[in-house]
Amino acid sequence: MSTFRPLFGQLKTELQKAIVGYDQLLTDVLVAVFAGGHVLLEGVPGLGKTFLVRTLSQVIGLEPGRVQCTPDLMPADILGTHIVNENEHGRRVMFFEKGPVFKNLLLVDEINRATPKTQAALLEVMQERAVTTGGERHILPDPFFVLATQNPMEMEGTYPLPEAQLDRFMFKIRVPFPDLDSLVEISRRTTGFTEPKLSSIISGADLTRMQKELAELPVADPVAHYASRLVLATHPEQPGALPEVQRFVSYGSSPRGLQSLIRGARVLAAVNGATAVSTDDIRAIAHVALRHRIILNFEGEAQNVKIDDVITKLLDQVKTPAQQAG
């Protein structure tokens, strides 16, 4: 894995030729890609979320697909549908016309503008990486990622994503509004008639190979126990739960949250040139891996409690192995 760190830096540099700022965001997205996870990007319209996904497909050499979500979008518009057509013998037979999910990198734009019925069509796609229709199971290309964009819930015409679907996203990344310097640079780069030419750094096959190698990076038992205690601490019914969790949280993270912590921390450790995962890697991933898996109760919603603040307090209170030993 000695070549991974410079490769990661090269990918990030290539992305930054087209994307201004968002240093941490690009790191988080690339970590999720190398960990084989799906990403939910949340931010107001116009921040370049869709452009980020298109740029990522160019740099990693993945075939992109796109779904623009609207209230009238149907599951068949995403998955595909059976149509009647003539075969080579002139007979009418049923064919399965594949939908846009049969690509390596699927952009689901404004996912929370689709109805719950259509959102549910992505559940099998994201978990099983397959489509079952008409009694037939169709396997999706490998590698396969879903990068979905979401508008803030306060915006008109949005449907909240069900918890089961949120849980299938490895990371939820918030896209902040650019600062002054970034806005000035955006005006310079995007108001002309030319776009930067980007190179494809790796192929899908190379990506799959690296994912398998990264999955072998060792995680010591104390580090795994720390990540597990962190996930348990998000549950209000657990003995010794923080007062903030008991008061404001309805449901805590599922075991998928623990999986996301470990998988993401492995990639981050490799980015930092480490040969094993540390608690610092777990802590660095905690917010993006857990923020969409902690569900506030009515009081938490009414008082506008920030889930990120709850996670920060958990990181302050849950002792690391070093703190326990001390």
The pLDDT confidence band at residue 203, using thresholds 50, 70 and 90, is confident
| Of 187 and 120, more confident | 120
Asked if residue 50 is part of any domain, the answer here is: yes
Asked if residue 212 is part of any domain, the answer here is: no
Residue with tokens 């739960």, as numbered in its chain: 241
Q: Which residue range(s) make up the domain with 279?
A: 217-321
Q: Map residue 9 onto helix, strand or coil.
A: helix
Residues 222 and 279 in one domain: yes
Cβ within 8 Å of residue 71, ≥6 positions away: 113, 114, 115, 157
Residues 173 and 223 in one domain: no
Residues 39 and 159 in one domain: yes
Residues 75 and 171 in one domain: yes
Residues 137 and 239 in one domain: no
Split into its structural domains, the chain has a count of 2
pLDDT of 24 strictly over 70? yes
Asked if residue 211 is part of any domain, the answer here is: no
- What's the CA angle centered on 239, arms 237 and 240, to 5 degrees? 110
pLDDT at residue number 190: 64
Q: What is the secondary structure of 242-283 as a DSSP string? A: -HHHHHHEEE---HHHHHHHHHHHHHHHHHTT-SS--HHHHH
Q: For 208-213, what is the mean pLDDT?
A: 89
The pLDDT tens digits of the residues spanning 221-253 come to 999 999 999 999 999 998 878 888 999 999 999
Asked if residue 101 is part of any domain, the answer here is: yes
d(Cα 45, Cα 296) in Å, to the nearest integer? Answer: 25
d(Cα 265, Cα 258) in Å, to the nearest integer? Answer: 11
Asked if residue 326 is part of any domain, the answer here is: no
**CATH code for position 260:** 1.10.8.80
Residues 187 and 226 in one domain: no
d(Cα 69, Cα 121) in Å, to the nearest integer? Answer: 12
- Of 149, 174, 206, at which residue does a domain stop? 206
d(Cα 11, Cα 32) in Å, to the nearest integer? Answer: 14
Residues 300 and 164 in one domain: no
pLDDT of 180 strictly over 70? yes
The pLDDT tens digits of the residues spanning 62-77 come to 888 888 888 888 888 8
Residues 51 and 139 in one domain: yes
pLDDT of 154 strictly over 60? no
- Prediction pTM value: 0.85
pLDDT at residue number 49: 67
Residues 103 and 231 in one domain: no
Nearest in space to 28 (alpha carbons), one of 307, 285, 321: 285
Residues 186 and 223 in one domain: no
Could you tell me what percent of the chain has a pLDDT over 70?
90
Residues 155 and 36 in one domain: yes
Question: SS3 breakdown of the chain: % helix, strand, coil, rounded to 5?
Answer: 45, 15, 40
Q: Label residue 68 exposed, middle or buried (CB < 10 Å: 0-12, 13-18, 19+).
A: middle
- Of 173, 206, 239, at which residue does a domain stop? 206
Residues 228 and 175 in one domain: no
What are 106's strand-pairing partners? 65, 146
Asked if residue 95 is part of any domain, the answer here is: yes
- Of 178, 206, 234, at which residue does a domain stop? 206
Q: Map residue 295 onto helix, strand or coil.
A: strand
- Lowest mean pLDDT across 30-44, 84-98, 211-225, 307-321: 84-98
Average pLDDT for the chain: 84
pLDDT at residue number 99: 81
**CATH code for position 173:** 3.40.50.300
The pLDDT confidence band at residue 126, using thresholds 50, 70 and 90, is confident
Q: For 287-291, what is the mean pLDDT?
A: 94
